[in-house]
Every structure is written in C-alpha cells, then in structure tokens.
C-alpha cells in the first residue's frame, strides 16, 4: 500500500540541490517517487512502508537538514569530499580567470606596467577580479538550472570565505615564489594547487554541515 509523507528539507538553494535530494530519496528501497522543491524546502515522498527515519537519514547523509536537524558532522564522507572538490574546482576556474588575467595585464601591457602599482595593489585587484569572474562563471553554470536573475542571486550568495581564502593562497604563493606579481609557467601549477587545497576542507564542512552547494 502506497503512502505519502512530506519532509521539511533545509539547505537547498537551486534545482541541482533538489535533484540530489530526490535521487537520495528515490535510492531508498521502498520509495517509489519523490517530488522535491528547493523553493518550498519540501520533499513529498511516495513509499511503501518505509520508515521516516530511513528517509530522513538518506537526506541528511548528503548534507541537507530535515526538520531542522542535520547528520552529526564527521570528516569521513567520501561522497561529500568528491562533491566539495567539484565545487572547489569550478570556483578555482572562475577565480583563476580574473586573477591570472589581472596579473598578466600588469606584467605584459606596457601602459599598465608604467603606472607603477605596488605588488600589494596588483594582488588586491587580482583578488577582486578573480571573485567577480568566479561569480560570473557560477551564474552561467546555474543559469542552465534556473532563471538568470535567480542564478545570479545564488552565485553571489555563495561563500566569500572560500573565494577569498582561495585568492589569498594563490597570490601568496605567487609572491613567495616569484618575489612579486608575476606569472611564469612554473608558478601557475603551485598557485592552482594552493588555491584548490586551501578552501577544500572548508567547502566540505559547509556542504556536510549545512548542505550549501549548488553544482
């Protein structure tokens, strides 16, 4: 006999989030279907004798809250590590476009080089531009799932802590290895590695504890 239950799911911010919750619920044996909405924060689940605890556990296991409660936090969830790595990768791509572009412009365009900006000024501008291009890229990615206006709202709501730490790590590595705001082929790889590894644990924690992810 089919039954229906409604779950109050927290942490969803886009259709991608709703899709992950739906897949988690429909992956539970005995669940026939799940209608999930990030806008209402609800999941309407049709099932055959499945316990509520089993369904809520499946949702909490992927980083979202149910009835205001989350899974007890731990660092051993390989699926969350993979998802947070995916999120961090796209953030890194976006940040690198603006960051590297700014440094390269001051390095190779004579007019900008003649302005005599200090290394710190160039790095701060590179960090700002990197965050802006990251938000732009996130908006483009999310626009495939939602309206452009909503995609932009979600993109600017993503963690600035993650992007700022990523940008800071990349630029510190650049200054330490080259002595200034410079791009060379050999410095790009360690900059990217530092930019990826620095915010990754934070992004795992944010996704695992609060379900904050949109890819």
Q: What is the pLDDT of residues 181-214, one digit of tens each?
A: 999 999 999 999 999 999 999 999 888 777 666 5
Q: Which two tokens stand for residue 33?
A: 């279907």
pLDDT for 215 beyond 60: no
Express each pLDDT in 27-86 by its tens digit: 998 999 999 998 899 999 999 989 988 999 899 888 788 888 777 788 988 888 988 999
**Predicted pLDDT of residue 125:** 97
Residue 88 host element (H or E): helix 78-108
Cα(191)–Cα(42) distance, integer angstroms: 41
Contact 33, 48 (CB under 8 A): no
- Domain locations in the chain as residue ranges: 3-66, 78-210
| Averaged pLDDT score across all residues of the chain | 89
Read off the pTM. Answer: 0.75
In the chain, % of residues over pLDDT 90? 57
DSSP state of 181: S
Identify the CATH number of the domain defined by range 3-66. 3.30.70.100
The pLDDT score that the predictor gives to residue 214 is 52
For residue 191, the number of C-alpha atoms closer than 13 Å in the C-beta half-sphere is 27
Of 156 and 118, the one with more pLDDT: 118
């Amino acid at each position: 006999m089919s039954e229906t239950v409604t779950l109050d799911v927290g942490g969803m911010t886009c259709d991608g989030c709703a899709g992950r919750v739906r897949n988690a619920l429909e992956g539970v044996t005995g669940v026939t279907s799940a209608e999930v909405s990030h806008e209402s924060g609800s999941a309407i689940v049709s099932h055959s004798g499945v316990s509520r605890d089993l369904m809520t556990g499946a949702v909490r296991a992927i980083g979202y809250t149910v009835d205001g409660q989350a899974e007890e936090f731990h660092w051993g969830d390989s699926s969350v590590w993979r998802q947070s790595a995916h999120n961090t990768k796209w953030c890194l791509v976006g940040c690198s476009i603006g960051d590297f572009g700014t440094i390269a412009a001051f390095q190779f365009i004579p007019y900008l080089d003649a302005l005599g900006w200090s290394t710190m000024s160039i790095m701060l501008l590179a960090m700002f531009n990197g965050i802006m291009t990251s938000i732009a890229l996130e908006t483009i990615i999310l626009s495939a799932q939602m309206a452009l206006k909503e995609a932009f709202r979600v993109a600017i709501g993503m963690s600035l802590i993650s992007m700022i730490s990523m940008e800071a790590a990349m630029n510190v590595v650049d200054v330490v290895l080259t002595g200034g705001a410079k791009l060379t082929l050999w410095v790009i790889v360690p900059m990217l590695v530092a930019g990826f590894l620095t915010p990754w644990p934070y992004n795992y924690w944010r996704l695992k504890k609060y379900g904050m992810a949109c890819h």
